[in-house]
Amino acid sequence: MRCSFRETILSPVPELRLTRLGENASAALCYTWVMDPKVRRALLSGPECITKDATVAEMDAQGKLNVLRPGTNQWVCVPGNEKVVGAADMCADPMGMRWMLDLMARKPKPSNTEPGLIYMLNGALQHSYTDPFDTTSPAIPIGPHWMLIWPFDAQAAGLSTAMRDAGTMVMFAGTPYAHLHICGSPWDGNEYQPGDRAVWTMRYAR
Ligand SMILES: [Cu+2]
């Protein structure tokens, strides 16, 4: 049987798109609802407890936001572009977003007045971990991480300023854009339940 209806059915929710399965499928299977891949990527960059109610918006190179899905909490999740170094999938709270927009606008210093949070749980590619305005150096691959946006002094805090694939470092150390770069996800590990016994899992290996 030929598919007889067209893609004029409005999506019940903005993140779902009607996608054609095939011309000659049985009528019931001509189309299916799939999540817009950009929305899906953006949502996967943060923990579900915030992304489920977050606004999803695309961001252009000037930092202008185009809402793909309205949200009900203060978080904005942005799909990145894996072909563009520095354009990572992210979820930011209002102060985190303000910092990111200031950075993109190359302001001499960020204007966030309180600490911000940004999740990049899909990982990132960026040009530098020391110079926030570097747009030419070769890409550095960076794993899943999240960021506490506040200009910590690495030495005073006893933290590393070198890029690493686990643990925590101060990124852009010594610049107004310094922040805590925390590798992994806050949701790593196993949750304690009362009564759980301890299992010592630490190992050394060379
Ligand atoms: Cu990051």
- Rounded Cα distance, 92 and 71, in Å: 13
For the stretch 82-130, pLDDT in tens is 889 989 999 999 999 999 999 999 999 999 999 999 999 999 999 999 9
Q: Where are the domains of the chain?
A: 37-183
What is the distance in A from the centroid of ligand 1 to the CA of 89? 9
Q: What is the mean pLDDT of residues 19-39?
A: 74
What is the distance in A from the centroid of ligand 1 to the CA of 124? 6
- pLDDT over 90 percentage in the chain: 71
Using the Cα atoms of residue 154, residue 159, residue 161 and residue 163 in order, give the sign of their dihedral: negative
Q: Which one has a higher pLDDT value, 4 or 118?
A: 118
* Residue 27 confidence (pLDDT) above 60: no
Q: Which one has a higher pLDDT value, 8 or 116?
A: 116
Q: Which one has a higher pLDDT value, 5 or 121?
A: 121
- Rounded Cα distance, 74 and 60, in Å: 20
Predicted structure pTM score: 0.86
Three-state SS at 56: strand
Res 4: pLDDT: 59
Write out the two tokens for 43.
């949502």
What is the distance in A from the centroid of ligand 1 to the CA of 178? 12
* Residue 25 confidence (pLDDT) above 70: no
Res 23: pLDDT: 67
Write out the two tokens for 134.
């570097």
Q: What is the mean pLDDT of residues 149-166?
A: 96
- Rounded Cα distance, 188 and 168, in Å: 14
